[in-house]
Amino acid sequence: MVKISDFQNYLKSKKIDSWEVYLDESKSTSIEINKSDVEYILSGEKTGFGVRVAKNKKLGFSYTNDIKKFKECIDTAITISKLNNKDDDFESFAKTKKEYPKVKTYDKDLEHFDVKDFHEYMNEFRNIIEKQDKNIVTGNGVYRKNITNKNIINSEGIDIKEKSSSNSVFFDGLRLENGNENINLELGDADIGILNPNVANEFGKRLVSMKNKKDIATKKTSILFHPECFGAIMDEFINNSFSAENIQKNKSILCEKENKKMFDEKLSISDDATINGLYDSRVADDEGIPSQKTTLIEKGIVQNFIYDSYTSNKEKKESTGNASRTYFSKPSICTSNILIEEGRRKNLISEIDEGIYLKGLMGIHTMNHSTGDFSLSVYEGHNIKKGEIISPLKDTMISGNIINILNNIIGIGKGKGKYLWGEGSVYTPEILVSNVQVIGSK
């Protein structure tokens, strides 16, 4: 059996300046159902090995999913390094003197959650959704469970092992047939521990709430962003605009904006991978740098950007622990858990005389990251009048600029929801924003 020491000894025998090994061992199981029928059940284990090497500031990378071929993989990385151009900005692979935080990233009950239980679990989930309305068709639903062990070692003294668990459920074909109206939604949830099927109650209620859509007129109005919707916007915005790589390449709207007030003073945001149980918490990032909390925005002022070891070395700073990778890819900068500070207002809908409640937008990835401009279709939203939800929206879009949106915040809710389907995870309250352009078809 191949051991970590075998990788180290072989790398040390080579005439290279520095090296890094990323070892990933994972067990995964998934089940897909269509109505009550099982479409497939897949279960398997895989191991992957990725290696980066450097000599004379020339970098090479290679990977394999056959650990027995680790010597060939290392030799390939060395050959590639010789062919590459010198990278004068490269200083070293990750190094640290910090202590690693104690973070819960693994749930043993989930590991023992057996494939025999998956079908029963998914049928319970489906039945809870369908109880909300006799005309609901659940379509395809997928449940996935992953148990992962990663080990990162390098020539600079990094040697960190971490075990993590995750599971997710996703329905991509929720449909409600209402006369001539077909309503479709995609909804899901994820966690590091066994998911509670009762979350399906909300799935069903959201689908039913979209019956009898109504046109609205084009206007500027207040918008209350549901956590899922605001989380999706902020995941896209922060991962692009707060990336040190994009700052250094002058591709971010926040270039030269550090320590400047750019947003409403009610807005404070941090990136924090050290909180027990959150979906993207971890002991270390994927270069082995200890996880930490990084304040990005405090009372509207840009405080920090997020770094991996390469970009931090370019500025003679410490990495913020935001490197993300798999065994078959090189590291890139990515958020962990984005935390948006909650407010004190418990029922923002009741404060709205006229406005819109947005839960889902299409095309968020099309936002212009150089200007912040966007034009997005609404796929889940409701009209609000005199503090009450009146009707779901039909054929509606919103347009504007993300900087303007974040400067027109008039209320932040108490309590947090989550968005888990982006680059990282976002935990945010509801956010009420004024003066947003809404394009209707009425």
Give the separation between CA 332 and CA 299, rounded to whole angstroms: 28
Question: Both tokens of residue 25?
Answer: 């061992």
Residue burial 428-442, b: 16+ Cβ < 10 Å; e: rest = bbbbbbeebbbbbee
CB 181 within 8 A of CB 208: no
For 109-166, write each residue's pLDDT tens digit: 999 998 888 888 898 999 999 999 999 988 889 999 999 999 999 999 999 999 999 9
What DSSP line would sit under 72-85, residue for residue? HHHHHHHHHHHHSP
Residue 327 phi/psi, 5° resolution?
-65, -25
pTM of the model: 0.96
**Digit-coded pLDDT (tens) for 261-317:** 999 999 999 999 999 999 999 999 999 999 999 999 999 999 999 999 999 999 999
Domains of the chain (ranges; CATH) run 4-208 (3.30.2290.10), 213-442 (no CATH)
CA dist., res. 218 & res. 398, Å (int): 9
Residue 320 in contact with residue 306, Cβ under 8 Å? yes
pLDDT at 335 over 90: yes
Q: What span, in angstroms and rounded, lies between the C-alpha atoms of 44 and 196?
A: 24
Cα distance between residue 220 and residue 399, in whole Å: 10
Report pLDDT digits (tens) over 228-237: 999 999 999 9
Over residues 163-199, the pLDDT tens digits come to 999 999 999 878 898 888 888 898 999 999 999 999 9
Give me Rg for the CA atoms of the chain.
Answer: 24
Strand ranges for 179-260 from DSSP E: 181-191, 219-225
Q: What is the predicted pLDDT for the residue at 43? A: 93
Residue range 206-216, pLDDT digits in tens: 999 999 999 99
Query: What is the arithmetic mean of pLDDT over 375-394?
Result: 97
The separation between CA 47 and the C-alpha centre of its own chain, rounded to angstroms, equals 24
Identify which has the larger pLDDT, 98 or 1: 98
DSSP strand pairing (425-428 vs 301-302): unpaired
